[in-house]
Structure 1
Amino acid sequence: MRTMGVHRQGVQRIVNELEKEGIVGFQPNPHHKRAHLVALTSKGQTLFEAAIALQVPWVNDLSKDLSLTDIATAQQVISQMTKHIEDTSNAPGEGSP
């Protein structure tokens, strides 16, 4: 989470709010006594499916004029940039502009 610029407390606050809304629930974690697993409830699953139903046509329209080569090139550039950012973020004395 730290490499994404996200702090545990911020994630916990959001998860707690989602749980109050009935979107997620906590389940026991067989690998850790205190850190529960977070899972979608049926309400959360319904909301997720509704979001995907809106997202799929939107992304298809967004990419309709792009060739597979264009998409592959964009993916490669983004991957290289992400790796560079991660490498420089983890290097001692570097990372912050």
Structure 2
Amino acid sequence: MNRNSRTPSGDAFAEFAISVLRLAGHLTSEGDRLAQPSGQTSARWQVLAAARHNAMSVADAARTLGLARQGVQRIADLLEAEGLIAYRDNPAHQRAKLMTLTERGKTVLDEITARQTVWADALGAETGEERVRQATMLIADVIAILKERGTRR
């Protein structure tokens, strides 16, 4: 078999991967548009949202978001300087502080979430709930496979 030719399954997966990457770019642009009226970006919004779910370290947030720890640290430090998050002591780790939302951070995140709700409702209705749920399950399956492969190396 020619190593440059893929199987039909490989072709399908390659097309899927390219589509997901293109979608990620569009979602980032849309996220920037939704966050901009509150003076934020998609990246800052992601870190704010991670801090809302529960107090977590920058490293935990980076793992959850699938981002580099250094990038999340830089964003978290900017959010702290703007009074949107605060660092507090972490009983599990002396040096890795926990990020928590401040009241101002909660307000900003609520503003963005309100805009995102309208956007998501409209796009979900146009795309169809069942199709979106199926796509979400497929993406979750691929993520799980990739994580499993990563742990076997």
Measured against the shorter chain, the TM-score band is 0.7 to 0.9
* TM-score, normalised with respect to structure 1: 0.77
Aligned-partner Cα distance in 2 for 1:62–1:86:
29
The answer to whether the aligner puts 1:4 opposite 2:4 as a matched pair is no
In 2, Cα distance between the equivalents of 1:52 and 1:2? 19
The residue that corresponds to 1:91 in the other structure is 152
Distance 1:2 1:48 in 2: 18
Question: Which structure is higher in helix share?
Answer: 2
Higher strand share: 1
Shift of 1:83: 1.4
Unaligned runs of 5+ in 1: 93-97
Deviation, 1:10, is: 2.3
Give the length in aligned residue pairs.
Answer: 91
Matches within 5 A, 1:1-97: 1=63, 4-6=66-68, 8-92=69-153
- Which segment is superposed worse, 42-51 or 73-82? 73-82
Give the share of equivalent positions with the same residue, in percent.
Answer: 30
Structure 2: state its 5+ residue gaps. 1-62
Q: Structure 1 stretches (4+) deviating beyond 6 angstroms?
A: none
Equivalent-residue separation in structure 1 for 2:64 and 2:129 (angstroms): 33
Distance apart, 1:55 and its partner CA: 0.2
Cα distance in structure 2, aligned partners of 1:76 and 1:56: 21
Q: Cα gap change, 1:67/1:10 in structure 2, threshold over 3 Å: closer, same or farther?
A: closer
TM-score (norm 2): 0.52
Structure 1 residue 70: deviation in Å? Answer: 1.9
Structure 1 residue 46, shift from structure 2 partner:
0.6
Pairwise CA RMSD: 2.2
